[in-house]
Amino acid sequence: MLLFLVQSPVLSVPVVPNFASGVTTSRTETKSKTVETIVSHDYNTGYTYSLSGTGLTADPNSLIPNATTVTGTTNGTSYVWTGLDLSSQSKPTMSLTVPGASFQLVESYSAPGLSNITTVTRETEQESITDTVSSFSR
């Protein structure tokens, strides 16, 4: 089988736009949301101890309880501070001024350690719309 290929010339016609002016428009919309969380830990690094009352007499040699080590871990953070040993062997020795009379005793202790956790969450949403119009002419 014989095959003959014959080439024919290729002709083209130039393309010329036949409009005189035009307008293009575009719109871009952007939305974003940001969430911020701030966590604050407040620690008491020391202690507060107070002892007061009426109708009582304190032994001056036992007014301050013995110190002890206070340790703890909060959310993976370990701490070591000095606190007070408030066992009965370490507490101040009190006696009635007048046996059988009325008395009042107030003891307050604020230990070292975590005192407060504050969490603040803020959400911000932003939206931006940009419209662009371009016009052109010949």
> What are the tens digits of pLDDT across the range 66-125?
888 988 887 788 888 889 888 888 888 888 999 888 999 998 999 888 888 999 999 999
pLDDT at 17: 67
Amino acid, single-letter form, for residue 71: T
Phi-psi region of 76 (alpha: psi -120 to 50; beta: other; left: phi over 0): left
pTM of the model: 0.51
Task: Say which residue, 88 or 4, is predicted with more confidence.
Answer: 88
Q: Is the pLDDT of residue 33 over 80?
A: yes
SS3 (DSSP) at 4: coil
